[in-house]
Structure 1
Amino acid sequence: MSDTAKLDPVVEAFVDALNAQDTDQFYGVLTEDATMSDDGVERNLAQWTEAEIFRSNGHLVVDTVDSDDGLALTADYTNSRWGSMRTTWRFVLRDGLISRFETGQA
């Protein structure tokens, strides 16, 4: 069951773009210098998103919003590369866009 009503609107747009496989909308909610990590390891954002989201049909089903500001969530993430796994996502905003996200297994 999705709990996106409590997400920050920019995070909700990130989730929507990811699920729609809409690269323009996805990169449109990120700052030009956005960074990310996966399981605590810094990753090249463009390479990671291409491999883990867009080439592998990534899909995120939000289970819970884990912060009052709507910038953290737990979700079931599925892609054709790894299958389905429970994940956490945390976001940092700057000037109304996502400047960093951190994801990893929950």
Structure 2
Amino acid sequence: MTATIEDPAVAAFVKAVNAGDREAFFEALTPDATMADDGTERDLQAWVDREIFTVSGHLEVESAEDGGRELTATYSNTTWGGMRTHWRFTVADGRVRRFETGQSQGTAG
């Protein structure tokens, strides 16, 4: 089951990831967007190319909290397979300004 994501910016982010649409993905972000993976700051463009767009990244959202700005999801790609992940988003002016992701407790189902 896919949870409903109330925040339109986060919904656009997830939709772009799942469609493999790099242009729509960056349209969902502010120009100065930043991100972290497992608590480590990453170069946004290099990370999304390596972890999402060149490896068929896909988010299956299990639950959404804080209006859709905190997600638990099974994230999969052709490099790592599937894993349970947590995503936290900061939104400004209707676009994602920052996202943080990392492995979550439990295993992907």
Same fold (TM over 0.5): yes
Deviation at residue 78 of structure 1 after TM alignment? 0.3
Structure-1 separation of matches of 2:68 and 2:84: 18
Matched residue SS, 2:74: strand
Identity %: 53
Structure-2 separation of matches of 1:19 and 1:35: 20
Look up the match of 1:49: 48
Q: Deviations over 1:41-74 (max 9, x none)?
A: 000000000000000100000000122x221100
RMSD of equivalent CA atoms: 0.8
Deviation at residue 31 of structure 1 after TM alignment? 0.5
Q: What's the TM-score, normalizing by structure 2?
A: 0.92
Q: Name the amino acid aligned to 1:62.
A: V
Q: Does 1:103 align with 2:101?
A: yes
Consecutive unaligned residues in structure 1, runs of 5 or more = none
Task: Spell out structure 1 runs of 4+ moving beyond 4 A.
Answer: none
Equivalent pairs counted in the alignment come to 104
Consecutive unaligned residues in structure 2, runs of 5 or more = 105-109
Q: What's the TM-score, normalizing by structure 1?
A: 0.95
Deviation at residue 95 of structure 1 after TM alignment? 1.2
Structure-2 separation of matches of 1:43 and 1:29: 18
Look up the match of 1:40: 39
Deviation at residue 90 of structure 1 after TM alignment? 0.4
Deviation at residue 2 of structure 1 after TM alignment? 0.3
Structure-2 separation of matches of 1:41 and 1:11: 21
